[in-house]
Amino acid sequence: MTPAAALAEAFSNEPYLDFSKPEVWAEAESALRHVRTQAGREYPLWIAGAEQRTGDLLASNNPSHPAEIVGRHHKATADLAARAVEDAHAYFPEWARTSPQHRAELLARAAGLIRERKLEFDSWLVIEAGKTWPEAEAEVGEAIDFCEYYARQALKFASPEALVQLPGERDDLVYLPLGVGVVIPPWNFPLAILTGMAVAALVAGNTVVIKPSSETPIIAHLLAEVLHEAGFPPRSFAICVGSGSVIGDVLVEHPKTRFVSFTGSRDVGLRINELAARPRHGQIWIKRVVAEMGGKDAIVVDREADLDAAAAGVAQSAFGYQGQKCSACSRAIVDDPVYSQFLEKLEERVAAITVGPSEDRTNFMGPVISAGARKAILGYIETGKTEARLIAGGGVAPGDGYFIRPTVFAGVDSQARIFREEIFGPVLAVTRARDFHHAIELANDTEYGLTGAVYTRNPEKIREARETFFAGNLYINRKCTGAMVGAHPFGGFNMSGTDSKAGGPDYLLQFLQAQSIAQKL
């Protein structure tokens, strides 16, 4: 099927592979073996339509086996970062003039290429990001979904709804691309979030400079291969690997940077917002910042809930990908009458969680991303031991990787650090609420507002949650992770970011500006 024919069909989410099927698992093992033959190779920068090498190399490691170097990456200098922005700015007018239909077809072609290489992408996510196979598969599926969905959305914005036509006039509204965007994705979704941010900007007619995370830069190079093969022009995007302290500020502050699309921590997001807000010499626009930051997400368990479903949802949300999701459940707030019963069911669920190397499909949890992350998480665990009652986990798990046991604290006070601060690891705080109304109050008692969930069979309480639970993504009787493109537009309130609603019908507006044209007839 041609890209144009594919775009004529309605969007549907990418189906997932089932690794319990012997034939699928055999292909996955084969893909992993092939990927491992490439471990340790060098990756150049991609700037101004050409490869660049500096000789200053960054190593990326397998967090399940830290001694395994999976790639070495040339790091950009501040001068190269500035050059990347300047060249993308110079090329922007040409790319902006291409038709939306053409850009959408290129993106549909990119979706097909990722689909063809799905198990290869899965394998790299397993060994570079420490993802288990199901988590990797879900991420690759999301990347494909972003390509397919945004391609179709671009065509809708190319033909906007007609305006009121005044007598004797032709009145139009057209959407124009912005310019050069700096795309700064996180390490925890190095393919899906990177793809979503980058291709949304590209398909809208912008050029982009991508600064991948230093923890997971291989994935960005793989996406670059796909974009090149799909037909995106060599100068439409750049790949700049390097530390934030060396190139991050240069990219954000450059006067020709038109917008910054960032996903990551609250503190870094606030700094980017502050830097972007100050105009530089020669800058003629107010820079736009699209920021998705942290979360301290809560699941409320009501006395009228299905406790088995609630315990399963909390465990999956708290410990999927080792709790390293901004959407992860880090607080379970439980109605008093069912508190003890819920804890029993949760402990049973957590006790069954297996931890170990992510390439072993029998493990539900793999490693956290780095030694630094492990140290910070273990520090929070030690703090938790002084603030609450430890009922599960509480330390490292066996193995040479960065493994931490799934950890649960009970009786957590709402003023405790482990209740209030984002930990970004497999640590769950369980708090007792007087009643449902009090539980919602506790859930809202945070500076964040990303995801949340409520388990209850009571329709009136569902109505109350819909009206008063303040989170960008609210789920009823299901886990608070796993947002699906097209169905669950994703983004949060307050310190969780600018609520950009990735994967939703208005996301491309972040990368467009509207022009009203009135012509006298």
pLDDT at 59 over 90: yes
DSSP 360-403: STT-SB---S-HHHHHHHHHHHHHHHHHSEEEE--SB-SSSS--
pLDDT tens-place string over residues 429-468:
999 999 999 999 999 999 999 999 999 999 999 999 999 9
Say yes or no: 288 and 155 in one domain: yes
Average pLDDT over residues 168-185: 98
Backbone angles phi, psi at 172, to 5 degrees: -130, 155
Say yes or no: 352 and 459 in one domain: yes
Give residues with Cβ within 8 angstroms of 424, minimum separation 6.
294, 323, 324, 328, 373, 376, 377
d(CA 377, CA 417) in angstroms, rounded, equals 12
d(CA 388, CA 409) in angstroms, rounded, equals 6
Say yes or no: 55 and 184 in one domain: yes
- The CATH number of the domain holding residue 51 is 3.40.605.10
- Domain region containing 222: 20-293+500-520
Say yes or no: 287 and 308 in one domain: no
- Would you call 46 helix, strand, or coil by DSSP? strand
Say yes or no: 436 and 289 in one domain: no
Residue 8 lies in a domain: no
418 contacts 383 by C-beta, under 8 angstroms: yes
Average pLDDT over residues 13-42: 97
Residue 472: DSSP 8-state: S
pLDDT at 44 over 90: yes
Say yes or no: 408 and 504 in one domain: no
What rounded mean pLDDT belongs to the chain? 97
| Percent residues over pLDDT 70 in the chain | 100
Residue 50 lies in a domain: yes
Say yes or no: 407 and 465 in one domain: yes
Give how many domains the chain has, as a whole number.
Answer: 2
How many helices (H) and strands (E) in the chain?
16, 19
- Rounded to the nearest 10 degrees, the angle between the axes of helix 100-116 and helix 217-230 is 120
Residue 12 lies in a domain: no
Distance of CA 401 to the CA centre of its chain: 23
Say yes or no: 470 and 507 in one domain: no
The closest of 108, 94, 92, 154 to 14, measured between CA atoms, is 108
Say yes or no: 166 and 204 in one domain: yes
Say yes or no: 361 and 254 in one domain: no
- The CATH number of the domain holding residue 438 is 3.40.309.10
Backbone angles phi, psi at 319, to 5 degrees: -120, -5
Average pLDDT over residues 501-512: 98
d(CA 483, CA 67) in angstroms, rounded, equals 34
Residue 491 lies in a domain: no
Residue 13 lies in a domain: no
Which of the residues are catalytic? 292, 326
pLDDT tens-place string over residues 182-239:
999 999 999 999 999 999 999 999 999 999 999 999 999 999 999 999 999 999 999 9
Give the confidence band of 127 by pLDDT, cuts at 50, 70, 90.
very high
Residue 9 lies in a domain: no
pLDDT tens-place string over residues 356-409:
999 999 999 999 999 999 999 999 999 999 999 999 999 999 999 999 999 999
Residue 242 lies in a domain: yes
Say yes or no: 235 and 306 in one domain: no
Average pLDDT over residues 19-27: 97
pLDDT at 1 over 90: no
Average pLDDT over residues 8-22: 96
Say yes or no: 41 and 27 in one domain: yes
Average pLDDT over residues 163-180: 97
- Residue 375 burial class via C-beta count within 10 angstroms: exposed 0-12, middle 13-18, buried 19 and up: exposed
Residue 445 lies in a domain: yes
pTM: 0.97
Average pLDDT over residues 111-120: 98
